[in-house]
A and B are shown apart, each in its own frame.
Chain A
């Protein structure tokens, strides 16, 4: 009996259902969606089949073994470094023709391989039938058909895993001269970078970046280079294309045998119509406006930040929990400083816990719910193509809309997702725009709640932030050297979102958000309490007061700006408290909202920026942001005082 854990790696293009399959196999929940780039990191879980334990690894989507973006390199590193026992190539069954390329490439890794035809339920609506048994025989690897959304075929997949295919596939055979070149190269290569010699040779022929970089260490470097050149010269074309064409011929012959068209496609007319509408400027842009109005303004702003916050903070906390906690502290704790640490102005409970639970959670929760709905329906890639032209002026392409839209939820998560952008320049630009102009859902919700009683100031705020977004984006694209990368994206069919999927996804994000922020909230209030207790806070606030005066804000705002640094949402929540007390006029509210929206990102986002972009970029961004936010507040103040 085998006791050792066997390592299974899931591989496939974006948006084929790898993550959902991972969830089914392991029982863990990773965020799953209908847009590329949700998995930017590796997810791990375990699963037991019979008495054999498996470690399941879910990887970011890749189109081929020649990576294009940073997250695609992650997948290749997994193949290189982790010595998997089995690979499962997950494909979208209806696009088998395109996806079999990667199957053939994966055979060259020399690792046992299982092909999983996922979303098999969808091919029926297209009137197709695939003979999986024949496909398995022709490819000489196990093939299984699954539908991860409904759980179809998963038993069979487990069964195949338990049988443990350990024989590496024989692999696809290219034309004789290519095969000769592969054999020669494999013999010459000293260091194959942890890959199979065959795969290393193939990657080299296709001008792979990592393989070319490692070439300088090779003793037989010159022979290798001249060999590659000779093959390329024979074809008078890029070998990437030549090899792809050879694979395509094989695939076309293969599919002619295994796929049958049994009837004409009968896809959902209504969803197809919606699919067309949402990707055309008319009526796509009005639809986008409706989505923003109802999803963001009505649901997150009015319902989440308005009704839910009022109810939870005012009714549940205000009349039930707060009095109870205060009484508890009064009765059992006699030490004065401990009391104030718990329930004082900056107490762990009154600031930390209450802010997080009563004010931030309802807002972030409603946002994640709405975002999950959009993701699951397949709307986001359509949004990306609609804004592509506009984003080109900002030095980005449509792809960047996904991290930026996610930034309206949580900027910290969004900075991580900028990994899906192709160039360093694009990642830097997107990170800067996120840090400066995109308010996170907590801020957004509170700003909407604070300003919505006066449509005029809400409009000014919106207009200002939007134009700053465009202007700063345009300017920084001018300043930073380089070009935007071309835009390409698959548009998945619109699907009716599944309620359980949406709820699960929103809940997972909420839990991960909440476990991240609660400790920071509590820690921040502890710091503030200490600062207050020692008088340090007062002197710091004193130093910030002149700035507040310049902006025409009450001096209490100084403390809120300080809070805003620890968490943007924390600062926003402080602003909410101040406004609820009736201390701010509409003009002051507007100035405060503008300044706080633009002001430096919270500590968590800052930490991620340093990790992803480096300390130097981060400091530069911080300086710019501090400057722009105060300058904007000042301009707004002057403008309003006219």
Chain B
């Protein structure tokens, strides 16, 4: 089984599948699900500075480390 890592560990250009989203913080969970980040979805890291930029389908999402850190992926 592939290793589970936070999405923030991806390098620009890398793709990964979302495994889970940290559910302790309800507000962040809602934001992420509303933006289409759900288990099973493939995300691509586009940029890591000054904020993380993830591509999900045809959308670019800018996320800071606080909220991006809640996304767990496997490569």
Residues of A in contact with B (beta carbons under 8 Å apart)? 63-64, 66, 68, 94-95, 97-98, 101, 126, 207, 237-238, 240-241, 244-245, 248, 279-281, 381, 384-386, 388-389, 392, 397-398, 485-491, 493
B62 & A97 in contact (Cβ 8 Å cutoff): no
9 contacts between A and B (CB under 8 A): A98-B59, A101-B34, A238-B26, A241-B21, A279-B47, A386-B50, A486-B67, A487-B64, A488-B61
A244 & B33 in contact (Cβ 8 Å cutoff): yes
A240 & B36 in contact (Cβ 8 Å cutoff): no
A491 & B60 in contact (Cβ 8 Å cutoff): yes
- Contact residues, B24-75 vs A (CB, 8 A): 26-36, 38-41, 47, 49-51, 53, 56-64, 66-67
Q: What are the 7 tightest A-B residue pairs by CB atom distance, in nearest-first order?
A: A98-B36, A63-B34, A486-B67, A385-B62, A491-B60, A487-B64, A486-B66
Q: Does B23 touch A at the CB level, under 8 Å?
A: yes
Alpha-carbon separation in the docked complex, A280 to B46 (Å) = 11
| Closest partner residue, chain B, to A267 (CB atom) | B58
Minimum C-beta distance from A204 to chain B (A): 14
A385 & B35 in contact (Cβ 8 Å cutoff): no
Residues of chain A within 8 A (CB-CB) of B36 are 95, 97-98
A68 & B26 in contact (Cβ 8 Å cutoff): no
Residues of chain B within 8 A (CB-CB) of A98 are 35-36, 56-57, 59
A281 & B49 in contact (Cβ 8 Å cutoff): yes
Residues of chain B within 8 A (CB-CB) of A64 are 30, 33-34
Q: Decide if the interface of chain B is mainly helix, strand, loop or mixed.
A: mixed
Known: A279-B47, A388-B51. A489 touches B30 (CB 8 A): no
Residues of chain B within 8 A (CB-CB) of A392 are 64
A240 & B60 in contact (Cβ 8 Å cutoff): no
Known: A238-B26, A241-B23. A488 touches B50 (CB 8 A): no
Minimum C-beta distance from A393 to chain B (A): 13
Minimum C-beta distance from B17 to chain A (A): 13
Most buried by B among A486, A488, A491: A488
What range describes how many residues of B lie at the interface?
Answer: 20 to 34
A241 & B35 in contact (Cβ 8 Å cutoff): no
A491 & B61 in contact (Cβ 8 Å cutoff): yes
Q: Say which residue of A240, A248, A280 sits within 8 Å of B30 (CB atoms).
A: A240
A385 & B51 in contact (Cβ 8 Å cutoff): yes
Residues of chain B within 8 A (CB-CB) of A207 are 26
B39 & A245 in contact (Cβ 8 Å cutoff): yes
B53 & A487 in contact (Cβ 8 Å cutoff): no
Minimum C-beta distance from B7 to chain A (A): 13
Alpha-carbon separation in the docked complex, A281 to B49 (Å) = 8
B67 & A385 in contact (Cβ 8 Å cutoff): no
Minimum C-beta distance from A357 to chain B (A): 41
Minimum C-beta distance from B18 to chain A (A): 11
A241 & B58 in contact (Cβ 8 Å cutoff): no
Annotate B1-26 by CB proximity to A: 1 below 8 A, 0 otherwise: 00000000000000000000101001
B33 & A241 in contact (Cβ 8 Å cutoff): yes
B51 & A487 in contact (Cβ 8 Å cutoff): yes
B50 & A281 in contact (Cβ 8 Å cutoff): yes
Alpha-carbon separation in the docked complex, A493 to B58 (Å) = 9
Minimum C-beta distance from B3 to chain A (A): 22
B29 & A240 in contact (Cβ 8 Å cutoff): yes
Minimum C-beta distance from B1 to chain A (A): 20
Minimum C-beta distance from B73 to chain A (A): 16
B58 & A488 in contact (Cβ 8 Å cutoff): no
Minimum C-beta distance from A174 to chain B (A): 15
Alpha-carbon separation in the docked complex, A323 to B64 (Å) = 60
Residues of chain A within 8 A (CB-CB) of B26 are 207, 238, 240
Q: Say which residue of B28, B62, B64 sits within 8 Å of A381 (CB atoms).
A: B62
A491 & B62 in contact (Cβ 8 Å cutoff): yes
Minimum C-beta distance from B64 to chain A (A): 4
Residues of chain B within 8 A (CB-CB) of A385 are 50-51, 53, 62
Minimum C-beta distance from A260 to chain B (A): 15
Residues of chain A within 8 A (CB-CB) of B67 are 486-488
Further contacts, 6 of them, CB under 8 A, given A241-B29, A398-B62, A491-B53? A98-B57, A240-B30, A245-B39, A385-B50, A398-B51, A488-B32
B59 & A240 in contact (Cβ 8 Å cutoff): no
B27 & A63 in contact (Cβ 8 Å cutoff): no
A389 & B51 in contact (Cβ 8 Å cutoff): yes
Alpha-carbon separation in the docked complex, A95 to B37 (Å) = 12
Alpha-carbon separation in the docked complex, A95 to B57 (Å) = 7
Minimum C-beta distance from B55 to chain A (A): 10
Minimum C-beta distance from A25 to chain B (A): 26
Residues of chain A within 8 A (CB-CB) of B31 are 63, 68, 486, 488
| Closest partner residue, chain B, to A248 (CB atom) | B38
B27 & A280 in contact (Cβ 8 Å cutoff): no
Known: A98-B59, A490-B60, A491-B60. A240 touches B33 (CB 8 A): yes
Minimum C-beta distance from B54 to chain A (A): 10
B29 & A238 in contact (Cβ 8 Å cutoff): yes
Alpha-carbon separation in the docked complex, A97 to B62 (Å) = 19
B62 & A68 in contact (Cβ 8 Å cutoff): no
Minimum C-beta distance from A399 to chain B (A): 10
Residues of chain A within 8 A (CB-CB) of B40 are 245, 248
Alpha-carbon separation in the docked complex, A491 to B63 (Å) = 10
Residues of chain B within 8 A (CB-CB) of A245 are 38-40
